[in-house]
């Protein structure tokens, strides 16, 4: 088993500043091209759910670093016909330098990492989406940080997560927020309160309970530095669409909610967005929205994460 990135706490706190610095350096040098840091390396990409940003940013990122992305169609692999995760992990580890996977069950990704001997990167599971939170944190650090105090610029900031507070994005912000020293104020319907498993994972990681939950979105949004939301119907939740749209209706991010946050607060969203559902067009396309920078920074931060994982420390 080698070092993997499955949840936000998998990168050592003491390495965060160097990681953010690396992402900034890669972003800066990109127009001139990179040294082939990953030359000769093939990374497998396994996607059991659709993706635009994650797949493209990893494929482009690997290519730009001199590596080779190998996209594996679920229906064209033996895993899709029932070959075990353990055998898949062991066999792929003989061929590739690392595996990037997007799937449903987080336990599958943990098993892949445990049974294989190459780094595994979580490109989203039902439980977590850590690459997104790291790209988002880097996006905020570009606004708040200064040289060598990028990651630490997040400390003490308040992020209000409004909507599906039991989603992979909310879970990731709870762990990521604690890791970065942020306060996370969640607001959603009572039935979507974060699961006890998330609190257990915080404890296992030795992190404080940094989050609050309220059914009142105004309370969560008050004095926030960031208002964050995600789709109301995540991949895999389609059968619950009607019930979810009804339950989340009071949690739409609109200009009234944004006005409760700090005057210089940012609006963030992992995308894809459903304008008119979780966010109004005025907010989504308004001056406080930094959603496209988040999307771009997936590329720069994920390159830094790949280099971190292959670094022989």
Residues sharing a CB contact under 8 Å with residue 207, sequence separation 6 or more, in sequence order: 9, 175, 178, 179
Residue nearest ligand NVA by beta-carbon distance:
234
Query: 291 is in the binding site of which of ligand CP, ligand NVA, none (Cβ under 5 to 8 A by kind)?
Result: none
Does residue 53 interact with ligand CP by CB under 6 A? Answer: yes
Integer angstrom CA distances of residue 104 from 47, 237, 304:
10, 11, 25
**For residues 89 and 134, which CB has a smaller minimum distance to ligand NVA in the complex?**
134
Rg, Å, the chain Cα set = 19
Distance CA 144, CA 182 (A): 13
Q: Is 270 among the catalytic positions?
A: yes
Identify which range of 32-40, 51-59, 86-94, 207-215 contacts ligand CP by CB under 6 A. 51-59
The residue within the footprint of ligand NVA, chosen from 235, 260, 273, 307 (CB under 6 A), is 235
Marked catalytic residue, from 230, 244, 269, 300:
230
Comparing CA positions, the residue from 9, 25, 6 lying closest to residue 307 is 25
Closest CA to 69 of 270, 302, 271, 301: 302
Clarify whether 55 is annotated catalytic: no
Q: Is 172 in the site for ligand NVA (CB under 6 A)?
A: no
- Find the shortest distance in angstroms from Cβ 15 to ligand CP: 23
Of 251-310, which residues contact ligand NVA (CB under 6 A)? 270
The one of ligand CP, ligand NVA, none whose footprint includes residue 52, by CB under 5 to 8 A per kind, is ligand CP
Distance of CA 291 to the CA centre of its chain: 13
CA angle centred on 47, ends 55 and 243, rounded to 5°: 100
With binding defined as CB under 6 A, does residue 273 bind ligand CP?
no
Is 222 an annotated catalytic residue?
no
> Taking contact as CB under 6 A, which single stretch among the options 21-29, 93-101, 161-169, 305-313 is the one that binds ligand NVA?
161-169
Find the binder of ligand NVA among 93, 122, 165, 168 (CB under 6 A).
168
Q: Assess 136 for contact with ligand NVA (CB under 6 A).
A: no
Q: In DSSP terms, which residues pair with 19 in a beta bridge?
A: none
154 close to 164: Cβ distance less than 8 angstroms: no
Contacts with 19 (C-beta within 8 Å, 6 or more apart), sequence order: 11, 134, 151, 304, 305, 308
* 137 neighbors 151 (Cβ within 8 angstroms): yes
Q: Shortest distance, CB of residue 158 to ligand CP, whole angstroms? A: 22
**Does 269 participate in binding ligand CP (rule CB under 6 A)?**
no
Residues interacting with ligand NVA, by CB under 6 A?
124, 129, 167-169, 230-231, 234-235, 270
Residues interacting with ligand CP, by CB under 6 A?
51-54, 124, 132, 270-271
């Amino acid at each position: 088993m080698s070092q993997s990135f499955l949840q936000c706490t998998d990168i050592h706190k003491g390495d965060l500043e160097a990681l953010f610095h690396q992402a900034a350096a890669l972003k800066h040098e990109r127009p001139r091209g990179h040294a082939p840091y990953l030359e000769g390396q093939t990374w497998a990409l396994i996607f059991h759910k659709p993706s635009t940003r994650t797949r493209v940013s990893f494929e482009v990122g690997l290519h730009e670093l001199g590596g080779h992305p190998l996209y594996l169609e679920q229906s064209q692999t033996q895993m899709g016909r029932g070959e075990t995760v353990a055998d898949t992990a062991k066999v792929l580890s003989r061929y590739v330098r690392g595996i990037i996977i997007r799937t449903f069950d987080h336990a599958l990704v943990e098993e892949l990492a445990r049974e294989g001997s190459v780094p595994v990167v979580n490109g989203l599971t039902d439980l977590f989406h850590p690459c997104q939170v790291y790209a988002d944190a880097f996006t905020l650090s570009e606004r708040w940080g200064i040289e060598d105090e990028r990651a630490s610029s997040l400390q003490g900031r308040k992020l209000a997560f409004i909507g599906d507070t039991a989603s992979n994005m909310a879970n990731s912000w709870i762990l990521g927020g604690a890791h970065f020293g942020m306060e996370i104020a969640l607001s959603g319907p009572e039935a979507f309160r974060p699961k006890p498993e998330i609190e257990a994972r915080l404890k296992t990681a030795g992190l404080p309970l940094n989050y609050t939950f309220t059914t009142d979105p105004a309370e969560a949004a008050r004095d926030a530095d960031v208002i964050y939301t995600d789709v109301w119907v995540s991949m895999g939740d389609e059968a619950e669409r009607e019930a979810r749209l009804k339950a989340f209706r009071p949690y739409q991010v609109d200009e009234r909610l944004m006005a409760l946050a700090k005057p210089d607060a940012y609006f963030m969203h992992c995308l894809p967005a459903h304008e008119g559902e979780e966010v109004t067009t005025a907010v989504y396309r308004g001056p406080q929205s930094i959603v496209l920078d988040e999307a771009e920074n997936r590329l720069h931060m994920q390159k830094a994460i790949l280099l971190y994982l292959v670094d022989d420390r």
